[in-house]
Amino acid sequence: MARQTLAKLAGLVVALTITCFLFMISLGYGYTPTTIGMVFEAYQANDGSAEHSVITTMRMPRALLAVLVGAALAVSGLIMQALTRNPMASPGILGVNAGASLAVVIAVTMFSVSSLSGYMWFAFAGAFIAAITVYALGASGPEGLTPLKMTLAGAALAALFSSFTSFFLILNEQTLDQVLFWLSGSVEGRGMEVIGPVLPFLLLGFVLSLFMGVKINALSVGEDVAKGLGQRTWVVKGAGLFIVVLLSGGAVAMAGPIGFIGLIIPHITRGLVGVDHRWLIPYCAVLGAALLLASDIAARFILYPTEVPVGVATAVVGAPFFIYLARKGVMKG
């Protein structure tokens, strides 16, 4: 047991090291020619040059945003999969991102909201409504909640929300340019002022998730088992839903809907450390941050010098992974 714990700790340290390396790459390389050495110079002996300004005012917020959004989406996807016992669950697949996106578009088109604080509250509300609706639809019927019904309900709801999103954009075409790049999912062009208002909610979500590991372990075995251990399952599910809304709603508010992070990373981490959520949650946070950092770096150079939204880069990786899971039959049940 002690050896397994040390191995998992060592793996987490390696994952953190890789994430830090990607963070430095994100700061050091992009459209403006800079180096890793210039990153240290920018914070130790900033001379006001264009290169130093790019590093401190553009790339640093971008890298921090990628870390926070990637970690938030990965942890929220893990919790959704555990609470629903659906390996296909994620904020993107189950329509939570689409609900948050629709709410933001409504805020812009119908209420002329243009500030991040306004986006944030609408995104949280949209994520909450979508999560509740998908869960209710998936649990309806005599057979109760099944992975297949959850996935179908999420896909249908995501399609519905996307249709309404298009409708509102057509209704007020002047807002199309304002939200189009945001809707594609991106961490580019955001400053520290984007992170500040949402950061407390994300931190609260991360902290609460760390305390949920043991309870989620019991619930993921089966609801009857959890009740037999004296667990009030409705409290655990409610707390899990609250965490999902905090993390996925905050991520969408900052970066727009970025898909597949919450689907891919939980499966990878379970392959690395097993099914103990006390380890899965921190691993998901670190590896989610690493994946979005890597995707953002790739997005800068795929069509260089043109930059593509990071949501496109994650979709290139995530869509085949989704097809692979579907072919394995993980939605049955």
User: Given its phi and psi angles, is residue 298 left (phi above 0), alpha (psi -120 to 50 degrees) or beta?
Assistant: alpha
| Average pLDDT of the residues in 138-146 | 72
| Range in 61-65, 191-195, 283-287, 294-298 with the lowest mean pLDDT | 191-195
Number of domains into which the chain is organized: 1
pLDDT class of 144 with cuts at 50, 70, 90: low
Is position 267 within any domain? yes
DSSP state of 46: -
Q: Which CATH number characterizes residue 262's domain?
A: 1.10.3470.10
How confident is the model over 168-185, as pLDDT tens digits? 888 776 666 667 767 777
Kindly report, residue by residue over 308-320, the tens digit of the pLDDT: 888 888 888 777 8
314 domain residue, yes or no: yes
Transcribe 136-161 into DSSP letters. HHHH-STT---HHHHHHHHHHHHHHH
Phi, psi of 275 (to 5 degrees): -115, 10
Specify the 3-state DSSP secondary structure of 180: helix
Q: Is residue 123 domain-resident?
A: yes
What is the SS3 assignment for 183? helix
Residue 257 zone, left/alpha/beta (φ > 0; ψ -120 to 50; rest): beta
Q: What is the mean pLDDT of residues 70-96?
A: 88
- The terminus-to-terminus CA distance of the chain in angstroms comes to 33
pLDDT, tens digit, 9 for 90 and up, residues 8-57: 999 999 999 999 999 999 999 988 889 899 999 999 988 889 999 999 99
Q: Are 133 and 163 in contact (CB under 8 A)?
A: no
The whole-number pLDDT of residue 140 equals 80
- Note whether residue 64 is domain-resident: yes
Mean pLDDT, residues 137-145: 73
pTM tops 0.85: yes
pLDDT score for 147: 66
pLDDT band (50, 70, 90) for residue 329: low
Domain housing 128: 2-328
Q: Provide the angle, in degrees to the nearest 10, between the axes of the packed helices 116-139 and 192-210.
A: 40
10 Å CB burial of residue 278 (0-12, 13-18, 19+) is: middle
* 333 assigned to some structural domain: no
